[in-house]
Amino acid sequence: GDGKGEPFSSNRITANMSTIEAIAENYQTFNPAAYLQNNYIPPLADFSDPDSVVAWKLKCLADACASGEIGGQILVDIGSGPTVYQVLSAFELFKEVILTDFLAVNREELKKWLHDEPGAFDWGPFINHVCSIEGKGEPWQEKRKRLRERVSRVIPVNVHQPCPLGTELAPGTVDALVSSFCLEACSPDYPAFVKALQNITGLLKPGGHVLMIGALEESYFLAGEAKLSVASFTEEMTRKAFQDMGYVIRDFRSYTMPESMKVGVDDVKGISFVWAQKKESN
């Protein structure tokens, strides 16, 4: 039917799409290869274009990491998916890096890259770009080798649990968190996003740092057969979530998606970058 006159079934569909359980079920169709193809090759990942979204993301992360204020024992990347670009600056500042994802297929994709297995995605252009931002003239292969050595574990995560990493890492033990496009992409709405932020905040030591990149006003993205719905909100709402959670915002930037980068794999309007520091306990 057209949905009208069938209030029972249409209500059911609405309810289904907007629960944490339904999102988890929908992620079972997530295809890492399609996701990488959609987002991490040109035109979206074009390093010859200085206005490209990938260059913007890497610069935000590099600038925070060049401040000299971030570092320690353990860095955890929340919801890594099949990607590593988000830790390319931060990993250098920590003894141990832990990558995490909700899906086994994504953890396998990461291990394929870490072990340099055939068919692994090529992060070379991203690593090369971060080396050029750093400007030390280091061959990018050196950074790749260091990152592969620095990652100690690839483990499951669920940001909707009060202890998102279960027994692997207790609350209050992590020096810093990175997370890109995760919380909004697995939350049915803004309150669920805020709750997820609270859950991951529990992992951090007082004074610990978060570097988060997120989608602004996005309602869906595609990853192969999968169409994932995204909790849509504004940059003001992103900022407010961090402030209300007791963070000091150290840097906040946003990027408006240019027309040339709207290629039909999602309806994202912009991207936010937050560098936030958890207050020392009072």
Residue closer to ligand SAM (CB basis): 2 or 225: 225
- Closest approach, Cβ 100 to ligand SAM, in A, equals 7
Task: State yes or no: residue 154 binds ligand SAM (CB under 6 A).
Answer: no
Residue 212 Rama label (left phi>0; alpha psi -120 to 50; beta): beta
Task: State yes or no: residue 201 binds ligand SAM (CB under 6 A).
Answer: no
- Closest approach, Cβ 190 to ligand SAM, in A, equals 16
- The window from 109-117, 134-142, 152-160, 256-264 that contacts ligand SAM (CB under 6 A) reads 152-160
Structure tokens at 117: 């297995």
- The window from 63-71, 112-120, 151-159, 167-175 that contacts ligand SAM (CB under 6 A) reads 151-159
> Of residues 38, 52, 80, 277, which one binds ligand SAM by CB under 6 A?
80
Three-class secondary structure assignment of 44-86: CCCCCCCCCHHHHHHHHHHHHHCCCCCCEEEEEEECCCCCCHH
- Note whether 188 and 220 are within 8 A (CB): no
- Note whether 51 and 258 are within 8 A (CB): yes
Torsion, Cα of 130, 136, 142, 145 (10° steps) = -50
Diameter of the chain by CA atoms? Answer: 66
- The window from 67-75, 79-87, 127-135, 166-174 that contacts ligand SAM (CB under 6 A) reads 79-87
Query: Which residues form the interface with ligand SAM (CB under 6 A)?
Result: 27, 30, 79-81, 83, 86, 101-103, 106, 157-160, 180-182, 185-186
